[in-house]
Amino acid sequence: MMDTGRMANENESAIERAQAILADEPTAVVERERQAEVEQLGERIIEALRTVHDPEIPVNIYDMGLIYKVDVEDDNRVLLDMTLTSPNCPVAETLPGEVEHKVGEVEGVCGCEVKIVWDPPWNPSMMSEEAQLELGMIY
């Protein structure tokens, strides 16, 4: 004859062990929450970047392919690498400051530092398909 009480206890114990194994570690939960927060912040940063235009080109700097890297630090400070269409760009003095200002205004961002980089050199194929269509430059 089977001892159903003992089997029930063993089943409960097995279920508890399985739940303990499958349960998230507290650090994993925190990391997932931080990842989701950074992803949402990244989306808001891209929205802000799409409001910045080179006055000579009717396309925003993000879709132009001028933004090379956006890093969100642990304190939500943003480090951004961008380039310009040419070293002689007329807005070379003002555009980085405008980008810092716009990104710095994004909810959740605790400051922004823009670094101008020239490698790789920008070329029209770096534009989004939408930007290429708008400018009549399909590659």
pLDDT tens track for 16-67: 776 666 666 777 788 889 899 999 999 999 999 999 998 888 899 999 999 9
Question: Is the pTM above the cut of 0.85?
Answer: no
Question: What does the alpha-carbon distance between residue 86 and residue 127 come to, in Å, rounded to a whole number?
Answer: 15
Better pLDDT: 115 or 6: 115
**How large is the C-alpha radius of gyration of the chain?**
25
Q: Please check the confidence at residue 11 and state whether its pLDDT lies above 80.
A: no
Q: Tokens 């194994």 map to which residue?
A: 21
Domain spans, the chain: 4-135
The pLDDT of residue 139 is above 90: no
The C-alpha atoms of residue 137 and residue 129 are separated, in whole angstroms, by 9
Up-side HSE of residue 139: CA atoms within 13 Å toward CB? Answer: 11
Give the whole-angstrom CA distance, residue 44 versus residue 21: 36
**pLDDT above 60 (res 1):** no
Tell me the CATH number of domain 4-135, given options 3.30.300.130, 3.30.465.10, 3.40.50.970, 3.40.50.1100. 3.30.300.130
Answer whether residue 119 shows pLDDT above 80.
yes
> pLDDT of 62-110, one tens digit each?
999 999 999 999 999 999 999 998 888 888 889 999 999 999 999 999 9
Tell me if 56 sits within 8 A of 84, measured CB to CB. Answer: no
Amino acid, single-letter form, for residue 59: V
